[in-house]
């Protein structure tokens, strides 16, 4: 049996409809239990700030959390370098998603700026219905593979027959854009809700599929 293997590429541009606000905070304390306690208390404060902005505090989700020992270098009386224990450092990366609305985003950033927790943030955008986007990309990739196969078959003077196999990775497709990356919110002083004017670009999403066709 003669075959032809063709890789098709599908792509779409989608308008983001969901804001992803990543909020990161950390702290160092001498005692491990105190480190855990402070992390929990600061998370509670942030949830309260989210509530004040008009969203639900429980929508703030943990994306990464860690606690590690911290040491510092110093010179002893013999001028030799030594290391001494400083404490335990927690690192907490969270995220909250909500429909695109610059007024809501401005209120959240303002509440973060006036709360007692020092945070860094990044602003990203995605789409709510990711499955629909992925399906459309795959559909277009298959169609593109067929178009290429038909062109090659015609040029080679052969007839395109049935599909013998389809090779697709089913890997995760990234549907996100991040125009604002890691700012310290305390550095943005404002008297009231932040006046935000961000219009994110469309997100370009692409994927490939390889199809094996029988030819005769």
Q: Domain limits of the chain?
A: 2-215
pLDDT in tens, the chain (216 residues): 899 999 999 999 999 999 999 999 999 999 999 999 999 999 999 999 999 999 999 999 999 999 999 999 988 888 888 889 999 999 999 999 999 999 999 999 999 999 999 999 999 999 999 999 999 999 999 999 999 999 999 999 999 999 999 999 888 788 888 877 666 655 455 555 777 788 889 999 999 999 999 999
User: Rounded CA gap, 200 and 92, in Å?
Assistant: 26
Give the global pTM: 0.81
Sheet holding 2-14, edge to edge: 2-14, 203-215, 160-167
User: Rounded CA gap, 129 and 104, in Å?
Assistant: 21
- Residues 174, 175, 178: CA angle, nearest 5 degrees: 100
pLDDT of residue 187: 47
Predicted confidence (pLDDT) per residue in 100-135, tens digit: 999 999 999 999 999 999 999 999 999 999 999 999
Q: CA-CA distances (angstroms) from residue 124 to 99, 169, 180, 200?
A: 12, 26, 7, 9
Average pLDDT, the chain: 91
pLDDT of residue 190: 55
Helix axes 32-53, 102-114, angle to 10 degrees: 140
Predicted confidence (pLDDT) per residue in 12-22, tens digit: 999 999 999 99
CATH superfamily name and code, 2-215: Protein of unknown function (DUF541), domain 2 (3.30.70.2970)
Do residues 157 and 22 make contact, with C-beta atoms less than 8 angstroms apart?
no
């Amino acid at each position: 049996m003669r075959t032809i293997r063709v890789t098709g590429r599908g792509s779409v541009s989608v308008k983001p409809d969901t804001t992803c606000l990543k909020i990161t905070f950390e702290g160092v304390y001498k005692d491990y239990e105190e480190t855990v306690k402070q992390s929990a208390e600061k998370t509670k404060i942030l949830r309260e700030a989210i509530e004040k902005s008009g969203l639900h505090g429980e929508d703030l989700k943990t994306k990464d959390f860690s606690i590690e020992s911290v040491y510092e270098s110093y010179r002893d009386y013999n001028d030799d370098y030594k290391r001494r224990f400083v404490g335990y450092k927690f690192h907490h990366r969270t995220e909250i998603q909500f429909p695109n609305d610059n007024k809501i985003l401005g209120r959240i950033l303002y509440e973060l700026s006036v709360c007692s927790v020092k945070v860094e943030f990044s602003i990203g955008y995605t789409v709510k219905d990711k499955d629909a986007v992925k399906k459309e990309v795959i559909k277009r990739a298959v169609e593109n593979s067929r178009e290429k196969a038909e062109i090659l078959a015609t040029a080679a003077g052969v007839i395109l027959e049935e599909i013998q196999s389809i090779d697709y990775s089913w890997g995760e497709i990234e549907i996100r854009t991040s125009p604002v990356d890691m700012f310290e919110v305390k550095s943005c002083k404002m008297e009231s809700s932040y006046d935000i004017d961000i219009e994110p670009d469309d997100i370009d999403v692409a994927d490939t599929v390889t199809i094996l066709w029988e030819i005769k």
